[in-house]
Amino acid sequence: MARAIAERLSATGTVNALELRGVTKRFGALSALDDVTLSVRPGERRAILGSNGAGKTTLLNCITGDFPATSGTIRFFGEDVTHFPAHERIRRGLRRTYQISLLFGGLSVLDNVYLACLGVSRGRFSFLRPRRDDPLLENARALVHAVHLDEVAEKKVAELAHGQQRQLEVALALAGAPRFLLFDEPAAGLSPAERADLVAILQGLPAHMGFVIIEHDMDVALRVVESVTLMHEGRIFKEGTPEEIEADPEVQELYLGHGRG
């Protein structure tokens, strides 16, 4: 594996955090993703925009392995992960949040985060109960604090407000030592105040932690990223800086136009 990485390094001079080549995903006759080629540098923050059905979430599902791609290759920090199951990709430092919160409603906030910390640790199969000063439990408490959920740490997740559940989604993705994150519409359904909170959390991430964010709210998306990829009908339509994308007449026509009428 080390040699494979070395070869990659010599071939391109740099290792991309994420490198997709010709990724295609078909559901029956429908091409949800059509020959998507994309590379994201380590530490880069990128927004993926596009109308409903453009294939944004499908792209994330292919990257994490929730659904395998029909064809094409996916490399994560140089390593070919195309045929890896989801949990193997996660253990290599990839993380994601879900558009519709996928949480453990019957467990407390702290336990949800504890499970996330456990998933990328060696103690997954442990029969020993955690002690009060268990490092994983300490990590979980720190993460709960980082997403401003201290007051509801012991509450059952099913009893949480929508905005708090979205914040918990982010906390689950931050567990362990993430190298790269995928956010799927983290601001969906949040109030303006909660959105500001989310922007603060995203901007506060360590500089080496790159991410890809799918977001309809331009005020959130364009404030936290340095590059933008625009998707349309399963294909990559345009790439550029937020300013370039906003200024592009074609883009305004297609996507930004009706929102900004």
Question: And the tokens for 190?
Answer: 């949040």
Kindly tell me which of 105 and 257 has the beta carbon lying closer to other proteins: 105
Kindly tell me which of 129 and 260 has the beta carbon lying closer to other proteins: 129
Question: And the tokens for 143?
Answer: 């993460």
Question: And the tokens for 261?
Answer: 């009428």
Residue 158 carries which DSSP code? G
Locate tokens 């790159």: which residue? 210
Q: How far is the CB of 60 from other proteins (least distance, A)?
A: 10
Kindly tell me which of 11 and 102 has the beta carbon lying closer to other proteins: 102
Check residue 120 for interaction with other proteins (CB under 8 A). Answer: yes
Q: Which among 160, 184, 221 is positioned nearest to 99, based on CA atoms?
A: 184
In sequence order, the β-bridge partners of residue 156 are 108
CB 135 within 8 A of CB 121: no
Q: How far is the CB of 152 from other proteins (least distance, A)?
A: 13
Locate tokens 């740099």: which residue? 14
Dihedral angle of Cα 90, 96, 97, 103, to the nearest 10 degrees: 0
Window 44-103: residues binding other proteins (CB under 8 A): 64-66, 85-87, 90-91, 96, 98, 100-103
Window 123-182: residues binding other proteins (CB under 8 A): 123-132, 134, 137, 140, 154, 156-158, 165, 172, 175-176
Q: Which residues bind other proteins (CB under 8 A)?
A: 64-66, 85-87, 90-91, 96, 98, 100-108, 110-111, 114-116, 118-120, 123-132, 134, 137, 140, 154, 156-158, 165, 172, 175-176
